[in-house]
Amino acid sequence: MAREAFVTLATNDRYCEGALVVAQSLRRHKTRREIVVLITPQVSTICRSRLSVLFDHVIVVDVLDSNDEAHLALLHRPELGVTFTKLHCWRLVQYTKCVFLDADTLVLTNVDELFERNELSASPDAGWPDMFNSGVFVFTPSMETYNDLIKLADTDGSFDGGDQGLLNSYFSEWSTSDTSKRLPFLYNMHSTATYTYSPAFAQYGKDTKIVHFIGFVKPWNHKYDEKTGEVTQVEGPGIHEETLVKQWWKVWAEVQGLEGMRKTTTV
């Protein structure tokens, strides 16, 4: 039978917290697909053991880095060169189809219907909507695609220094291809869109399927009061809708309660 999986990525212990929430948010909505996390060698042993509680497979890959300081400076995100590591997901050829989810996403409902779509299906990026956002996408593992992507990274690099620029150059026909490749924005609802166009969020936001906490500040950077359930957002560029950040922390609390997690310290 065809094997299909959700895949995420964490190159360090902070992003592992996000990955745990991604997995738990899929499980609580009863996904029928496998769940896989790619990690790099620097992830600690304790985090690996926690990941193994929620993921079907924890797979160690090499760090891939664009080392493209010039383009990353344009993006004001020097840390994102390492997102080239995401390319390893195409090597998961034991699966016939996968859905990649950034570690800073939160699944709000069962989204297994995504596996009916084909490579490369993704939602528009709110910053430049003729590009897709690479935080959520449907893909087909293939060593040939992997090698092509690595070659393109070598020859042309990425115009934003991260995986999103590279993937948009490679799958450049996305914006003009048929609409089945265009996932609704609700599958990758940028948590900042609630401020840039709040009437649209008020109208459509209740049907959000996957939230994506884009930007430098992530939910795990905020302060959460376990007793009151209140979140205090840290200062920083881009601010997330508070109700969404609270939902992230609610799922984090569930993760903490799971058998096998208790032996570790909290965030």
Containing H/E element for 150?
helix 143-155
**φ and ψ of 108, to 5 deg:** -105, -5
Among candidate residues 1, 35, 4, 9, the one with its CA nearest the CA of residue 97: 4
Q: Does 79 bind ligand UDP (CB under 6 A)?
A: yes
Interface residue with ligand UDP, options 4, 104, 125, 241 (CB under 6 A): 104
Which two three-digit tokens encode residue 28?
């609580």
Minimal CA–CA distance to 40: which of 101, 92, 84?
84
10 Å Cβ neighbour count for 3? Answer: 13
Interface residue with Mn ion, options 18, 81, 124, 135 (CB under 5 A): 135
Bridging pattern class, strands 210-212 and 231-232: unpaired
Exposed, middle or buried: residue 179 (CB in 10 Å: 0-12, 13-18, 19+)? exposed
In the chain, the amino acid numbered 93 is: V
Residue 103 vs 231, nearer CB to ligand UDP: 103
By CB under 5 A, is residue 102 in contact with Mn ion? yes
User: Exactly one of 35, 36, 193, 211 binds its own copies (CB under 8 A); which one?
Assistant: 193
Contact with ligand UDP (CB under 6 A): which of 5, 7, 15, 89?
A: 15
Question: Which range touches Mn ion (CB under 5 A), out of 17-25, 78-86, 128-136, 259-267?
Answer: 128-136
Entry field: residues in the chain? 267
Q: How far is the CB of 180 from its own copies (least distance, A)?
A: 10
The type of residue at 167 is L
Rounded to the nearest whole angstrom, what is the least distance from the CB of residue 206 to its own copies in the complex?
Answer: 12
75 binds, among ligand UDP, Mn ion, its own copies, none (CB under 5 to 8 A by kind): its own copies
Chain contacts with Mn ion (rule: CB under 5 A): 102, 104, 135
Chain contacts with its own copies (rule: CB under 8 A): 71, 74-75, 123-131, 159-161, 165, 175-179, 182, 184-186, 193, 196-204
